[in-house]
Structure 1
Amino acid sequence: MGRPQDPHHPRSFFPFGNPFRVIAPKGSHMSPQLLALLQAFEARLTDRLSKLMLKSKEEALSLSWMTKAMESLLDSYNDIRTLISDLELPVSDWDDKWIEVYLDISRKVLDICNAFTSEFSRLITCNLSLKFALHNLDGNSSKQFVRACSSLDDWKQHIHSMDHRIEKCSTILDNLKGSLDLSKVKNSAKGKVLMQAMYGVKVQTVFVCSVFTAAFSGSPKKLIDLDVADMYSWTPAFSRLQSVINEEIRTRFSNGKFSVLIELEVVDAIVKELNPTIQGGADATVETKSLLKTVEELGNAEEKLSKGLDLLAKRVDQFFKVVLTSRDDLLFAPRSAKAVKNCSLGGNANLKLVS
């Protein structure tokens, strides 16, 4: 931490200073009220991280766990918005440069959300092939079996592809990881509280988004391991969670799975079992009882996959909107205060917004 920055080093997420100095800030004294706000925030963050611990290994990486992870992230960003209100920002030394950095970094988070949304659309489109196959498997003519087989082949071909935007997520996340090395903080107790809270949320953001990226890319190389100092109250919960989740993902990939998404793996396994049967065309009717059972299993698995993707996509959309709103919150507070100050001094209150 604290290494000199150069033109090639990623810009800091929040240039408030080294987060490890927040515990004992120099030149500013944290009041009991501010300390209570920070401690309450970090207690809630600890609770969110603890609730993401797996009840069983089979739970990761399920779509239901990913949905909980996104809900947890969404709650943390809403908590930041509440903290900003409780701190009664703006602080007097808020700087336009800080806002520009936040706008830049939140734009990157929004880009990641867009990439995830694009991947959801791809997976949902792939599921249309499954639905068409299931529709044809309702009959017993050789023509329908041929169409069903073609649909399943189409599903297999497209499900193993990947949206190019997911690849870009890794670059963005590497940049965010690098920006955890923060520069000096200005002498503001409120700024230090906000910075430390945002630091925790940023760590949570990088972790969750790297897990999603690894899951969607089909590569454990996309995982990011963060080393967080143990001076934060939420560090033990985060370290345990990161260790368990990342280890489980790497284990699954090492076992030859094409995806760590449980629901997707289940569908893939059933399709592999079904294909040899229906490739026989009309002869497949000989295995009617066995075929009906396998088709029913595929129908249930496809429905579970579709519902899981739909719910997760909705949570990512909600997160996207919360990040947008938080940008507005941080833009409005300092600029409204500056406008009042300019008016009181007889200055020009027409301010140019940073975009």
Structure 2
Amino acid sequence: MFVKLEDIIERIKKSKKVLVIGHIKPDGDDISSVATLTLALRKYGIEAEGCIADHIPWFYKDINGVSEIRGLEELKDYDYDTSIIVDASEISRIGDGALLLKKRPDITLDHHKTNEGFGELDFCDPSYAATAVIVYEIINKLGIEYDPALAEINLLGIATDTGFFKYSNTDVKVFSYSASLVEKGANIQKIASAVLEHKTLKELKLFSEMLNTLSVEENGKLAWAYVSYEMLERNNCTDEETGGFVGEIRSIYGVEIAILFIEWPKNQVNISFRSKNYVDVSEIAKYFGGGGHIRASGCSIKDADLMDIIGKVVDKSKEALRVKAVSS
């Protein structure tokens, strides 16, 4: 049931032991939201643990608070009275984290357009640039004092989900809250260095190979590329090394829709969509069982043939471009 943020805060105030769960294939906003809310609730006097039932990319590990996130096995015996799901548009997005739930989630916090509500109390507002922005407001409404570590992990989510303040979701609230967090001790340079300056030689070789698959169609408005399972194995990489590739495709001048297909593990195709100005890629992702934001979305298709999926998704993306052209 969708409710106001004040209702969420009142429910949190009644809690004594909280479990915060994020989504699989964690990004900066997910990691930030889990860790920030967990640490903040502890400062408020509530026992809290945070869980992501998936591997956290290594380059986030030096950021304050990330080490507080636990894996599934570590929390299988944790007894809580309130469960909070963050940054997930549907229950399947938390993967095996769902095994820790006793019933439907007590609270969900999200900003994805495709979220239809799956908790007892749901707060989802796509006007928020990041779930970390929602968490910031909760912390302030609860009167929790920031220290530099808490400020830094909170800023991680805001910075990454706005593309370090360059995406269209970067609004006055984002700048205001970010400035406040920097004032409280957050180090934006440390965050930027960790997230943007961690490329390895094998990642660069994989990127070079991906560029050989790049196709640009629809008069330059659609660009897509793929990374096959064999390409990953050949370069001794996993899908973790493909972070940022789709952003490079979107950076091509004139491209409106950018798509990256990643086959990982074998016969599972993970698809990342990005757009620049006017196409709502969440609708394309939703068509294939995924979701996300207007400008950044994704989906995963199991037991799939890479080339077959590429054909279907590219056709659907061309259709979205043409429909938008007709309606403009």
TM-score by length of 1: 0.28
TM-score by length of 2: 0.30
Q: Which structure would you say has the larger Rg?
A: 1
Larger fraction in strand = 2
Larger fraction in helix = 1
Highest RCO, 1 vs 2 (Cα 8 Å, sep ≥ 6): 1
